[in-house]
Amino acid sequence: MPKTVTQSKAMKKPIKHVPFLLLLSFLPSILKISTAIDIINTTQILRDGDTLVSSGGRFELGFFSPGNSNNRYVGIWYQKIPNSTAVWVANREIPVRSSSGILKVMEPGILVVLNDTNNIIWSSNTSRVARTPVLQLLDTGNLVLREANDDRPDNFLWQSFDYLSDTSLPDMSIGWNFVTGVESYLSSWKTNDDPARGDFTFWLDPTGYPQQVIKRGTTTLYRIGPWNGLAFSGQTNSAQDMNFRYVFFMKKDKAYHRLEAIDNSIISRIILTQAGTVQRWTWVDRIHDWIPYVNFPADNCDTYKLCGAYGSCNIANTPACGCLNKFVPKDPEGWIRSDWSNGCSRRTPLNCLKGDVFLKYSGIKLPDSRNSMYNQSMTLGECKVECLKNCSCMAYAQLDIKEGSGCLFWYEDLIDMRDLSSQGQDIYIRMASSEFGSCTETHNKDYELPMFRASTILKATNNFSVNKKLGQGGYGPVYKGTLEDGQDVAVKRLSKTSMQGLDEFKNEVICIAKLQHRNLVKLLGCCIEGEEKMLIYEYMPNKSLDLILFDQTRSALLDWPKRRQIVNGVARGLLYIHQDSRMRIIHRDLKASNILLDTDMNPKISDFGIARSFGGNETEDKTSKVVGTYSYMAPEYAVHGRFSQKSDVFSFGVLVLEIVIGKRNSGFCHGDQHLNLLGHAWTLYKEERSLELVDAYLCETTNLFEVLRLIHVGLLCVQQCPDDRPSMASVVAMLGNDAALPQANQPGFFAGRDVSIAPYCDFVPFAIVESISKPYTYLEKLEANVD
């Protein structure tokens, strides 16, 4: 970070005001006291060289010179952080040209900055009158004018939090007060030497439903979508933040958002840079430096309306822009030239009079909401009815996904969308009724699956009671049910309007119906009745591996024999689908949450919704739609879309290391080397220190030779080059004997991120969200077998 506060030798001198008679009486002792103060009144002035320090000592106010400039400005900075950046500047447009500046409070309550000729160059322009006005620097960094005997925040005469510079602090609001007309927004500095307003602004756009935008002049460059109850749509990293939370408030008189501190000991700030990016930085005492936590835009897909109407951007794809499913490019030739500005159109035109339907698209950054309308009380079903009434209503989405209420409606073409997988949102888009496909009972004929009546499943799940719900996926919810004979089952219920879930439904039936193995979850049957489409599985009482393995308390249930049993079982299940089943299948989403555990902790591989099958001599394929979970994904698949049996082997290797170590690969970062889990394991392996990876309680009860061998096998599976990785047949053999193992080479995604770029290691070495599990897949070959 550039140095923007130059502190003069006199800058640290706190101003003091002592009554004259008291000064005469206690002059000898007063001279020995130097106590910083945080407040002044109309009888005191702040000269260049004097400072105010907030009561907790976090912030300081005084005159400073930015960068290499000799101009003087009144600003606020962190008092205890060396070379700290100014977080607020008063006279940012008009500097004081010498060190003779003065800050003072004038009656009846106006804050002013005077230059060396005693002329006012900046004023707070306070409109309210105060009898005894005082100026106070709060420990939040807020500079406030108030009545001396009234410190209520809602009664301040004026506050710096309403008039921002390029920095937002926790509890500082960005938005609008519609009563006073005050708008609080960030504006960049011109240069490191000049804090005057630069080219860029970051503000809350209140037209339609409020959203965050970055502008250059009047041109929108980037947009973070509307508030969804948890975060702004398209805002990443916020859900996992344990130290801060985002808050959004909207009433008739005001609309604003802000960052609130959960842990006040953490120092963090958001800045709008001179290049037009919004960055959030956190101070780390251990390294005495600021570390970036969030950067927006994160990548080119954040460029405003890059892919045109009904286009969606996915940074993992080449090209990044693509049309939504069931849409086609308006200008195919332009699309080939990477000119996506004309966007996409429906492949089947709408015909409102003949009846339209709404199809659900999941994992989406919601489109530009400036011409939207909203209702805060409707249910999602009522949203559909309301939108269906109006032929101009192009789409709707749930307004508040946290509370499950409200509607957001769009009445124009949908622009500025991107694929965000699990961090995205569902949107329901108006389509011609002919685009809504349906399953038929040919599934049953082709794959000899038992058919269940809907009434049977309703009774088994107590009418899909909330208490019976086990989880939720892109296809829809999963419930526990009990059949009349007492057998417990798991019911995967397809969402009625989910075309993405329909793809998964078909794929699951195709893959699992033909597979029978003790280490694969068993599909008992399906239900296709009216709009209901359900898959019925055997019930796994211990649920998924991740819920036990990564839980500090429950992980003790997995002693070494059980962990070894789980590894062996998963290996045999993978070998079966790769080599021994009637269909050669690549799972593509092997991970701890897709390993289910029965009563005896036997593992069952589940969720074949995005699996791919191969025939003949096929061994690999390539896709532009990368699906799965990045922290388990092989590098050749994540980066280039190439997948094979060896990409499943890579995922298995990650899983093995997680099982031995008891920690997730996702989000893992080791020490100063900033290594992810794979890099840390390989480094210790090279230094013959692999036992340091194992939990202490496991070391006491396990066969150390087996542990070391399993770590070695895991590292062989995650090698960078696919050809170096063993087949699952070789892996099963390695696990079953004590023969010597080959040396492991460097794993894929070995290096963690550079600490100057991010505060923690990411599995993926480019700017992309850590996990991307698309709820649909393009399975042309498999679909052909069904349809």
Q: In whole angstroms, what is the distance from residue 757 CA to residue 488 CA?
A: 49
| Residue 59, pLDDT score | 96
Q: Do strands 612-614 and 584-586 pair parallel, antiparallel, or not at all (unpaired)? A: antiparallel
| Residue 57, pLDDT score | 94
Q: In whole angstroms, what is the distance from residue 495 CA to residue 510 CA?
A: 19
Closest CA to 511 of 502, 501, 523, 500: 523
- The band of 115, judged by pLDDT with boundaries at 50, 70 and 90, is very high
Q: What is the pLDDT of residues 322-333, one digit of tens each?
A: 999 889 999 988
Q: In whole angstroms, what is the distance from residue 474 CA to residue 500 CA?
A: 7
Using the predicted structure, report yes or no on whether residue 24 has a pLDDT greater than 90.
no
Closest CA to 410 of 555, 211, 579: 211
Q: In whole angstroms, what is the distance from residue 282 CA to residue 267 CA?
A: 6
Q: What is the mean pLDDT of residues 431-460?
A: 67
Q: Is 589 a catalytic residue?
A: yes
Q: In whole angstroms, what is the distance from residue 538 CA to residue 524 CA?
A: 7
- The band of 316, judged by pLDDT with boundaries at 50, 70 and 90, is confident
Contact 194, 187 (CB under 8 A): no
Grouping H, G, I as helix, E, B as strand and the rest as coil, residue 506 is: helix
| Residue 671, pLDDT score | 61
Q: What is the pLDDT of residues 219-273, one digit of tens each?
A: 999 999 999 888 888 876 544 567 788 889 888 889 999 988 888 888 999 999 9
The catalytic residue among 38, 426, 589, 762 is: 589
Name the one residue in this structure whose structure tokens are 């002329």: 119
- The band of 418, judged by pLDDT with boundaries at 50, 70 and 90, is very high
- The band of 311, judged by pLDDT with boundaries at 50, 70 and 90, is very high
Report the chain's mean pLDDT, rounded to a whole number: 83
| Residue 428, pLDDT score | 94
Using the predicted structure, report yes or no on whether residue 666 has a pLDDT greater than 70.
yes
Using the predicted structure, report yes or no on whether residue 573 has a pLDDT greater than 90.
yes
Residue of 133 and 512 predicted with greater confidence: 133
Q: In whole angstroms, what is the distance from residue 256 CA to residue 168 CA?
A: 13
The answer to which of 20-24, 113-117, 308-312, 686-690 has the lowest mean pLDDT is 20-24
Q: Which residues contact residue 149 at a Cβ distance below 8 angstroms, ignoring those fewer than 6 apart?
A: 132
Using the predicted structure, report yes or no on whether residue 4 has a pLDDT greater than 50.
no
- The band of 772, judged by pLDDT with boundaries at 50, 70 and 90, is very low
- The band of 29, judged by pLDDT with boundaries at 50, 70 and 90, is very low
- Neighbour count for residue 230 (Cβ, 10 Å): 17
- The band of 500, judged by pLDDT with boundaries at 50, 70 and 90, is low
Closest CA to 394 of 423, 425, 372: 372
pTM over 0.75: no
Most confident listed range (74-88, 349-363, 513-527): 74-88
Q: In whole angstroms, what is the distance from residue 710 CA to residue 723 CA?
A: 20
- The band of 705, judged by pLDDT with boundaries at 50, 70 and 90, is confident
- The band of 503, judged by pLDDT with boundaries at 50, 70 and 90, is low
For CA atoms 301, 302, 304, 310, the dihedral sign is positive
Structure-token pair, residue 240: 């996992």
Grouping H, G, I as helix, E, B as strand and the rest as coil, residue 731 is: helix
Helix (H) or strand (E) holding 23: helix 20-25
Q: How many residues appear in the chain?
A: 787
Q: Which domains does the chain have, with CATH numbers?
A: 1-163 (2.90.10.10), 166-298 (no CATH), 302-435 (3.50.4.10), 445-539 (3.30.200.20), 545-785 (1.10.510.10)
- Neighbour count for residue 466 (Cβ, 10 Å): 8
Q: In whole angstroms, what is the distance from residue 651 CA to residue 593 CA?
A: 12
Using the predicted structure, report yes or no on whether residue 21 has a pLDDT greater than 60.
no
